[in-house]
Structure 1
Amino acid sequence: MSNRGEQALLKQSTILMFAVAIAAIVTGFFSGSQSILFDGFFSLIATVIKVLMLITAKLIAKESNQRFQFGFWHLEPMVLLIEGSFLLLIAIYAFLSGMFGIINGGREVELGLVIPFATVLSVVCFAYFFYVRYRNRRLKSSLIQFDNISWLVDAMLSVGLLVSFLIALLLKTQGYGQWAAYVDPSILILLALSMLPPAFKILGPALRDVLGIVPDQLNDKVRGVMDEAKARHGFDDYISYVQKHGRARFIEIHIVLPAGYPLHSVATLDELREEISTALGQADAARWLTISFTGDRKWIA
């Protein structure tokens, strides 16, 4: 994966999202639409998160140092956890705001301003979402993958806004103007509910990484490889530990060799390491693999 390409795309995404946020806030203020304002503030917070992601991508590209000897991989799930938490809080706020709007009799909105805005915003957000998804097929960046969720959410918000304003316009033209005032707070509630799945989609993996929960898929793969190696080479036993922080995978394997195991030189152990490493998949900068050998079981207890 090209970290430089990742940073360039994150920077582009940040600038465009900031422009969308300012446009939405200004339009929401002059039109009187709280749902447009909500979209704007969501985009503004998304911009801040994107800045954090960009900083994280730059730190990950740096060499490890004395203070952070395993690099900066741990920052990636922390940023994603912040993003997911903000999405959840915004959804709760939007839901409550919509409920109070309905209780207070709805809101009048300047439809002649918000309908063209929602149309343009829908096109821009969906177009950029598909563009980023296409670019990330080559980059394979988890940061960009989760960052792109904000564009999908914004696109969904924009389409929801457009549909709601068209419904309000239809109600007004059909003589049901009193009901049109309830469209804005009603769509705010629906948008809040639609944001919950993306928020939990980000929070789930990020929380697992931050808490250090064992990644089942990686753990099963390591155990499968080692079970085969144990049977093939006659190892007495082994123990393995796996951990995941963002895209970084930490794998530690300790192998117990039987008494009298034929060791001609250290190169024999290196050959075993190479065989296990190859079986685990292609090595990259995000994989930390440690394989040790012992003849005493107490060292793996």
Structure 2
Amino acid sequence: MRTEQAVLRISIVMTFLLAAFGVLYGLFIGSGSIIFDGIYSLMDASMTLVALLVSKLITASLGENTRAKLVKHFTMGFWHLEPMVLALSGVLLMGTALTAFIGAVGSLLHNGHEVEFGRAMIFAVIQLAVAVTMIVFTRRANRQIGSNFIELDSKAWMISAALTGALLIAFIFGWAIRGTSYDWMTPYVDPAVLAVVCLFVIPMPISTVVQALSDILLVTPADMKNHVDEVAARIVSRYGFLTYRAYVARVGRGKQIELYFIVPQGEPPRRLEEWDRIRDDIGHEIGDEGPDRWLTIAFTTDLDWAE
């Protein structure tokens, strides 16, 4: 699994299978927490599918065969879709958990409900084993790929594993107290653990949503801006320019950089090849050259063109 799309495909298939199994099995044994686990997985799989489509669009826009058709309608590329998907995915996952929490509290206030804990434990063991396997798989694959989509997907599997682990502990507890003096607690086990798990799940996607919103709003990354400023300052000093203006943004995996250098009026003319060589030097010093870097470099004697 060396590509983002291949990893996401495997994750989507596994998530859809577990989601369907969870919802049906939860309905069969009457467990609201298992039903939530399935719905949460289904939501996650749907957003991972959207992420895969965006990944394919970004990759296809860089290919020679499809580039002409895509660029005709999307001349600025598809980077802007990535943070939108990440933000939407995080918000939906939090919304799903919040809805389930409200339902769990309502069930607790209405004397809970009975669950077949023996069968519930079987589901939890299977789900936990698959989730742990997928965590190892996605994290190992992403060490070389470095994808935000895979990182979010790995977090979703971690959430699923944590949720399932909590369910397994709760089901074991509920099964153990059957027929004891604590038997009156069994109707409350399922909704109680669901409420606790939801409180744990709700804040987990927040960092991803905040980063995605920063990309959507074109908030300038401080580290990226400092690096570009350092390079631009050296270029100004090296070639005797007056000053510069730098505009930097990160949009998903894309880095957008615009640099304007203010040249003194009356400077001796330079051949276009020399200006291109200066651009090459700037691009080399900035680094990260590749399909995900959008670099614009302009030279002018009028500061108004740069502001």
- On whether the aligned pair clears a TM of 0.5, the verdict is yes
Q: Provide, for residues 11-34 of structure 1, a one-character-per-residue CA deviation record: whole Å limited to 9, x for no partner.
A: 111111000001111111111110
Partner of 1:44: 42
Moved more, 22-31 or 221-230: 221-230
Query: Equivalents in 1 of 2:173, 2:241: separation in Å?
Result: 70
Partner of 2:165: 159
- After TM superposition, give the deviation of residue 85 of structure 1 in Å: 1.1
Residue in structure 2 matching 1:109, options 109, 115, 119: 115
Alpha carbons of 1:214 and 1:179: their partners in 2 closer, same or farther (altered >3 Å)?
A: same
1:172 aligns with 2:178: yes
Partner of 2:7: 9
Q: Provide, for residues 135-163 of structure 1, a one-character-per-residue CA deviation record: whole Å limited to 9, x for no partner.
A: 11111112211122211111111111111
- After TM superposition, give the deviation of residue 263 of structure 1 in Å: 5.1
| Count of aligned pairs between the two proteins | 299
Question: SS in structure 2 opposite 1:66?
Answer: helix
Partner of 1:290: 296
TM-score in terms of structure 1 length: 0.94
Partner of 2:65: none
Residue in structure 1 matching 2:258, options 248, 252, 271: 252
Partner of 1:242: 248
Residue in structure 1 matching 2:135, options 118, 125, 129: 129
List runs of 5+ in structure 1 lacking aligned partners.
none
4+ aligned runs moved over 6 Å, structure 1: none
- After TM superposition, give the deviation of residue 265 of structure 1 in Å: 2.1
Query: Equivalents in 2 of 1:243, 1:200: separation in Å?
Result: 21
Partner of 2:17: 19
Query: Equivalents in 2 of 1:89, 1:282: separation in Å?
Result: 37
Residue in structure 2 matching 1:274, options 260, 266, 280: 280
Alpha carbons of 1:234 and 1:23: their partners in 2 closer, same or farther (altered >3 Å)?
A: same
Partner of 1:187: 193
1:138 aligns with 2:136: no
Question: SS in structure 1 opposite 2:136?
Answer: helix
Query: Equivalents in 2 of 1:54, 1:166: separation in Å?
Result: 37
Query: Equivalents in 2 of 1:42, 1:48: separation in Å?
Result: 10
Percent of aligned pairs with the same amino acid = 33
Alpha carbons of 1:279 and 1:177: their partners in 2 closer, same or farther (altered >3 Å)?
A: same
Query: Equivalents in 1 of 2:274, 2:179: separation in Å?
Result: 83
Q: Which amino acid aligns with 1:47?
A: A
TM-score in terms of structure 2 length: 0.92
Moved more, 259-268 or 136-145: 259-268
